[in-house]
Amino acid sequence: MEKIRCGWCEKDDLYRKYHDEEWGRPVYDDETIFEFMILESFQAGLSWYTILSKRENFRKAFDDFNYREIAAYTEEKMEELMNDPGIIRNRLKIKATVTNAQKFLEVQKEFGSFSEYIWGFVEGKPIDHCPKTLSDVPAITEISDALSKDLKKRGFKFMGSTVVYAHMQATGMVNDHIESCFIRQG
């Protein structure tokens, strides 16, 4: 019997694998949370598929998403990234990644971990919206608005409410798998 999935992921095997193995699964480690933060911020204005298909290029270009290294990037390193055809070459998003890595470290220092900070917005456990169809899945919520506002206040860039909500979905802070999706049955 064929698996029923959320309709957005049926484009190809890359999308299906991402849906089946990662999307909506709770993530509590800072390294993976930061990886998704980079990827989601680069997605702003683009399709998630574009970013997902370049994920390994981003991993190589951004030192395996090591936020400590990224926080120390120089202008020369950022220029090198601007010349990397494997990633999205957007100067503002590259600079934002460096800024976000620096701010990520500040939040870690304040809260003990970034995970502790971000999961605090959902009281430490995923919110399950139980959507019946894709049209029932919101693009933003009051929580993504509040988290976005707080991140911006802390100096984070490219973290608007829509990007933040996508991040919350990707890292399992919310479960937006549709009712008929096999993930819900598992």
Closest CA to 186 of 70, 25, 31, 72: 25
**69 flagged as catalytic:** no
H or E element, residue 97: helix 91-111
Cα–Cα distance for residue pair 28/50, rounded to 1 Å: 25
**48 flagged as catalytic:** yes
Amino acid identity, position 66: N
Three-state DSSP class for residue 50? helix
Amino acid identity, position 11: K
SS3 labels along 168-182: HHHCCCEECCCCCCH
**67 flagged as catalytic:** no
- Compute how many other C-beta atoms are within 10 angstroms of the C-beta atom of residue 111: 14
Catalytic residue among 8, 18, 28, 49: 18
Catalytic residue among 15, 23, 35, 40: 40
Question: C-alpha angle with apex 172: 166 to 177, nearest 5 degrees?
Answer: 80
Catalytic residue among 15, 23, 48, 67: 48
Positive or negative torsion for Cα 150, 92, 58, 18:
positive
Beta carbons of 131 and 174 less than 8 angstroms apart: no
Q: What positions carry a catalytic annotation?
A: 18, 40, 48
